[in-house]
Amino acid sequence: MINKKELASLIYLLDDSDEEVVEQIESEILSFGYDAIPFLEEARLSEPEVLRLERINNIIRELKKTEVIRDIVFWQRHDSEDLLKGLLILEKIEYPLTDSQSIHNQLDKIRLDAWLEFNYDLTSFEQIKIMNYIFFKVHKFKGNAENYHDIDNSFISKVLETKKGNPVSLGIIYSLVAQRLNIPVYGVNLPQHFVLGYKSIDGIEILKSFNEESSLPEHDSDEVMFYINPFTEGLILNGDSIRSFLKQLHVEPKPEYFNTCSNVEIVKRVLRNMLFSYEKAQQPEKSEIVKKLLAELTKNQD
């Protein structure tokens, strides 16, 4: 537990004119770690002294950068199979007080609503039809086309709250719920877009048709049976749809565009979206943190 009185006393002393004294005080505040940020942010809201306010902001920035970088590197090395854990680390950039248990509870609520509609004889397409109904009709998630680059579109806590997001955030939440139902849906990292792929199980294709009249066309992936567009209420796509999309972008149809991607790649995609939003909003401090995170994830992948 943080000693609030001690921290408050240290913050008060930040306007000292002796630089060496200030460095020592800053070092002591930094030793409190990330948990000090809410108290520092509260203090700066009512801080009348310009010099003290500047130093508080510097400490907050340093704490956020150090802690988040440490956590994301650890996640990449040891916990990257848990996508949600990586996303909760990113929450600290903007929403350090996010309640992780609340996020789990909200995902479990969507999962339960879908599970109540399931039975053991569903085809893969029928599973997704139910998922789409629960996700987009019952829980009313939708693409935030009006504010596509809003920074909140990149934070899972805000997307769960507002029910609006970009293709990546909607796809992440959709896939996290699906995987809790043992439905093999994972991210597909297309250029300029993000969709989901329904993976085949042991090479056996469960789905034989999109509907009663038409057969599922051939696709370009050894593992993905069909694709789901989370930004258009779960529209089902096939390999031809992906090829057509890539052709419109004048992009070569590489194999990785037809297969599912790693959780690290998804987190990097979220960070790139964050970076664009922060730069657009002219928030250089947040942009700096995001750039450092991207650099660390890329460096550790090499």
Structure tokens at 282: 């002219």
Query: Do residues 95 and 157 lie in contact, with contact meaning Cβ atoms separated by under 8 Å?
Result: yes
Query: Do residues 170 and 156 lie in contact, with contact meaning Cβ atoms separated by under 8 Å?
Result: no
Query: What is the tens place of the pLDDT at every residue in 64-91?
Result: 888 899 999 999 999 999 999 999 999 9
Query: What is the tens place of the pLDDT at every residue in 36-45?
Result: 888 898 888 8
Query: What is the tens place of the pLDDT at every residue in 14-59?
Result: 988 888 998 999 999 998 887 888 889 888 888 888 888 999 988 9
| Stretch (H or E) spanning 4 | helix 4-12
pLDDT, position 221: 57
Q: How far apart are CA 62 and CA 30, in angstroms?
A: 8
Residues 6+ apart with CB under 8 A from 231: 143, 166, 167, 170, 171, 193
In 13-154 the beta strands, taken as DSSP E runs, fall at: 142-143
Q: What is the mean pLDDT of the chain?
A: 89
pLDDT, position 153: 97
In 5-77 the beta strands, taken as DSSP E runs, fall at: none
Report field, pTM of the whole predicted structure over 0.85: no
Q: How far apart are CA 146 and CA 148, in angstroms?
A: 6
Query: Do residues 172 and 267 lie in contact, with contact meaning Cβ atoms separated by under 8 Å?
Result: no
Q: How far apart are CA 213 and CA 243, in angstroms?
A: 23
